[in-house]
Amino acid sequence: MRPVAKFVACALGAAIIFSLAACTGGPEEPPQPEPTPSATYTVEFEQSRYLLAAGDTANTATLSANVFEDGEKAELTAVYTVADPAVATVDGATVTAVGAGTTTVTASYTPEGGTEVKAEAKLEVLAPVAKSAVNDFSEDAVNLYGRTYFQNDNLVLDNVCTGLEIAFVGTELEIAFASGNGMIRTFIDGDAEGTTSRIQKAGKVTVAEGLAEGLHVARILKASSPQFGTLVLKGSTATDGAFFAAPERPTLKIEVVGDSITAGAGALGKAADGGQTIDNSDPTKSYAYLTAQELGADFSIMAQEGYCVKDNPSIYDCYPHLSITNKADYDFSQFEADIVIVGLGENDMWHATSDQFPYTVAQLQDDYADLLRLIREKQPKAKIVCVYGMMPASDTAQTKEIITAAIKATGDENITQVRMSKNEAGASAHPSAKAHASFAQKLVKHIRTKLFN
C-alpha cells in the first residue's frame, strides 16, 4: 500500500515538488534573496571657484568636495587632480599655485566595483600687478562694471551698479573720490550683503579693513540712483599688501534698462516710512542686480526714477548714450549682451490711463515696439525679456496685451515676457528688498528654462 503522503503530493499538483522532497528526505531549496540595488554616488564641490595668488603669499588653498551616497553626504573621500600643472599642483586636498592662469580642478570618487563619478571647479591663479595699473583703472588690473567712462583720467560712475573689482593680498583697502554725491556698496570675497558708505565729498574711503591676511576680491558698486548724483573715483587706491589682477570676467552678459523699480527705489524701507531717500533705496538690492548675481553674469544696468519707454523722461532717448546724464554715444561693442531685460511700463501705464497726461495706450504700444527694435539694433545677438507687473499700474491684463502686441509688431522671435506680482511693501509704495529677491528668482527660472534650456 502506497504511503498517504505520496498520494497527497501527486493529487495536489502545484505542491508536488515540496511533498515529494518531504517524502523522500531530499534537500529543500532555500528562498533566493532579492538583489540589493546598487547605490548611486555623486560628488559636489563646496565652492565653484578657487582663487590663488602667484607668488609667495596666498598661493595655497584647501580643496573641499563632498561625496554623496543616494543623496546623503557620506564619510567618503574624493581624490583631487588639476588639469594644468603649469598653473597649479595638488597634494591631497592642498592646491598650490605655480603660475598665473586658469585651469580646472577635479574631485573624483570611484566606488568599489563601480563607475567613477566626479565634479569640476574653476581654479584661477592671479598675477601680481603694479599699483599704478590699478590706479589707472587698467582693464588688465581691474574689472569695470556697467557703462563707466573717464574724465581727466578719473573714473565716472553715473549709472546704477557701475563700479569696479579689485584683487589684493592684505587686510584692508582704501579708495579715493575726486568728487561726488551718492552711495557705494562694497562686496568682499563674494559676500552677498555688502557694506555701504555714503559719499558726499572728495576724499579717501576705507572700504575694507580687519580682513584675515590673504587674497581678497573687493567689488565696489554705485548703490544710488543718478537722481542723487554722480561719483568720480580718482587713482589713489591703496592696500597694506599688494595688488593682483582681478579674476576673469563672467562670460554671460546681462543688460537691464528700467525705471525706479530697477533702480531699487525704496527697497530698503517700509511703506510706513513714506517717501524714497538715498538711504532706503539701493539698486544692488533690486531684481536686476540679483538676477545677474544668481546667474553668475557680467552686468550693465541703466535705470532711474520716473523713466518711461518713450514718454518724457525717455529711456529710448537715453539708451544709445553713456548714461542718463551723459549724452555722449555709447560704444555697444564694449558690452555685447546675451540677455537684455526691459523693466519698463509702470510709469507708462500711469500716463496712458490717466487724464493728467496727453499720452495714450496706443502710443505706448507703438513706443514699446520701437524700443524693442532699438535694442535689437544695438544688441543683435541678445535674447530680450520684458518684465512688468511689479507695481499696480502695470499689474493689469491690459499691460500684458500691450506688451504682447508690441512684441508681435517687431516680428522678433527672440523676445519673451514675464509678469511679476505687484508689491508695495517698500518705501514710497515700491517693492521691498524681499519682493525684489522673489522677482529675481522668477526671472532666473524663466531665463534658465525658457532661454537656455
| pLDDT digit string, tens, across residues 248-289 | 999 999 999 999 999 999 999 999 998 999 999 999 999 999
pLDDT over 60 (residue 1): no
Q: What is the pLDDT of residue 287?
A: 98
Q: Residues, the chain, total?
A: 453
Can you tell me which residue has the cell 558698486?
221
Examine the pLDDT at 25 and tell me if it is beyond 70.
no
CB atoms within 10 A of CB 133: 16
| Phi, psi for 247 (deg, rounded to 5) | -60, 160
Tell me what pLDDT residue 35 has.
Answer: 56
- Looking at the domain 131-244, which fold is it? Jelly Rolls (2.60.120)
- Residue 339 CA to residue 295 CA, distance in Å, equals 11
Collect all residues with Cβ–Cβ distance below 8 Å to 251 and sequence separation of at least 6. Answer: 298
Neighbours of 147 (CB within 10 A): 23
Q: Tell me, what DSSP letter sits at residue 245?
A: P
pLDDT of residue 181: 95
Instruction: Classify residue 284 by its DSSP letter.
Output: G
Partners of 204 in the β-ladder: 176
- 37 vs 430: CA distance, rounded Å: 54
> Is 51:63 a contact under the CB 8 Å cutoff?
no
Res 453: pLDDT? 75
Give the pLDDT mean for 304-329: 97
Q: How confident is the model at residue 169 (pLDDT cuts 50, 70, 90)?
A: very high
What CATH number belongs to 253-451? Answer: 3.40.50.1110
Place of cell 496727453: 358
* Ramachandran area for residue 109 (φ above 0: left; ψ -120 to 50: alpha; else beta): beta
pLDDT-based confidence at residue 38 (cuts at 50, 70, 90): confident
Q: Which of 451, 424, 447 is nearest to 435 (CA)?
A: 424
Give the pLDDT mean for 110-122. 96
The percentage of the chain sitting over the pLDDT mark of 90, rounded to a whole number, equals 91
What is the DSSP track for 252-278? -EEEEEESTTTTTTTTTS-GGG-S--S
Which pLDDT band holds residue 366 (cuts at 50, 70, 90)? very high
Q: Kindly give, in sequence order, each residue whose CB lies less than 8 Å from that of residue 439, ignoring residues fewer than 6 positions away.
A: 287, 290, 387, 390, 420, 431
Which of these, 450, 392, 440, lies nearest to 417 by C-alpha position? Answer: 450
Please give the average per-residue pLDDT across 200-217, as a whole number: 97
How many C-beta atoms surround the C-beta of residue 91 within 10 A?
Answer: 9
145 burial class (0-12, 13-18, 19+ CB within 10 angstroms)?
A: buried
**pLDDT higher than threshold 90 for residue 32:** no
Q: pTM value?
A: 0.90
**Contact partners, residue 259, CB within 8 Å, separation at least 6:** 303, 304, 305, 306, 307, 308, 315, 343, 344, 346, 347
Q: Calculate the average pLDDT of the chain.
A: 93
342-351 in b/e form (b: 16+ CB < 10 A) is bbbbbbbbbb
CATH number belonging to the domain at 48-126, selected among 2.60.40.10, 2.40.70.10, 3.65.10.10, 3.40.50.300: 2.60.40.10
Weakest-pLDDT range from 29-43, 104-118, 181-195, 200-214: 29-43
Residue 28 has pLDDT above 70, yes or no: no
What are the residue boundaries of the structural domains of the chain, listed by start?
A: 1-27, 48-126, 131-244, 253-451
CA 358 to chain centre: 39
